[in-house]
Chains A and B, each alone.
Chain A
Amino acid sequence: AQRVTQPEKLLSVFKGAPVELKCNYSYSGSPELFWYVQYSRQRLQLLLRHISRESIKGFTADLNKGETSFHLKKPFAQEEDSAMYYCALSSYSGGGADGLTFGKGTHLIIQP
C-alpha cells in the first residue's frame, strides 16, 4: 500500500530563513508526487508537481527515488508562505485511477 509521511506537524521559521518541508513516501512502482497548499481561510490548491520541474512562489521540490523523498524547499521564507502544506502521491501518471494519497500535513509558520 502506498503511504506518505510528513514527519513535522508544525514548522516555525523566521522570515528570510530557508525552509524545508519533509515528505517521504512508500510505493513500489513509479509514483507521481505533488505538494498542495492551504492558506488560511482558502481552499486546498496545487502548489507544484514533480513532473513539471518548475519553481512556484520560490518553492522547489526534487523527487529522490533512492531516498523515496520529495522535500519542499525555499531559500528565503516570506510571511505569506505561512500555510498548511500537504504532500501527495499518485500511483499512476497521466490518468490516475486511484485518487491521491495525502500526508497529514505540515503547518508552516513564518515569524516576522
Chain B
Amino acid sequence: DTGVSQDPRHKITKRGQNVTFRCDPISEHNRLYWYRQTLGQGPEFLTYFQNEAQLEKSRLLSDRFSAERPKGSFSTLEIQRTEQGDSAMYLCASSLGGAGANVLTFGAGSRLTVL
C-alpha cells in the first residue's frame, strides 16, 4: 500500500465539459474525504464517506458535483458542466474511524484547470 492515490494528477478541460477524479484510499481506512484547495487558501471540506455511505456534504458542493464510493474502497468525484471557478486542486484523504477519524492521510491531489 503506497498511501492515498489520486488520478489524474493534472486535468485541463474546456468550460462545459465533465471531469471525473478517482481516489484510492489506504485499504484499511474506512473514511474517505474530498477537499478543494485554491491558491492562497487552505483545504475546504467538500464531502466525506464512511465505507460506502456519504455522510456529509458541504454547501460548497453544488448540484454539478457528485461523489461516489460504491464498494467502500475507491471513490470518484465528478464535476459536470465545469466552470472556470472550478479550477482548483482536489484533494482526497482517508482515515480510520473512532479516535483516528481526524488524522487524515492526504493524496497528492488532482489539479483541475478549466479554460
Contact = CB atoms under 8 A, between A and B. Distances in A.
Interface of A: 4, 9, 32, 34, 36, 43-46, 49, 86, 88, 90, 92-105
Determine which residue in A36, A94, A100 has the highest number of CB atoms from chain B within 10 A of its CB, and name it: A100
Contacts of B93: 44
Given A101-B45, A105-B42, A94 B98 contact: yes
B99 A46 contact: no
B45 A98 contact: yes
Contacts of A45: 105-106
Given A97-B55, A97-B56, A103 B42 contact: yes
B91 A95 contact: no
A96 B44 contact: no
A92 B109 CA distance: 25
A37 to B, nearest CB: 11
A104 B39 CA distance: 10
Contacts of A46: 103-104
B97 interface: yes
B56 A49 contact: no
Contacts, number: 63
Interface in B58-111: 58, 91, 93, 97-99, 101-109
Contacts of B99: 93-95
Nearest to B99: A94
Contacts of B102: 32, 34, 49, 90, 92-93, 96, 100
B45 A44 contact: no
Contacts of B109: 43
B43 A102 contact: yes
B42 A98 contact: no
A54 B108 CA distance: 27
A19 B94 CA distance: 30
A43 B104 CA distance: 11
Contacts of A93: 99, 102
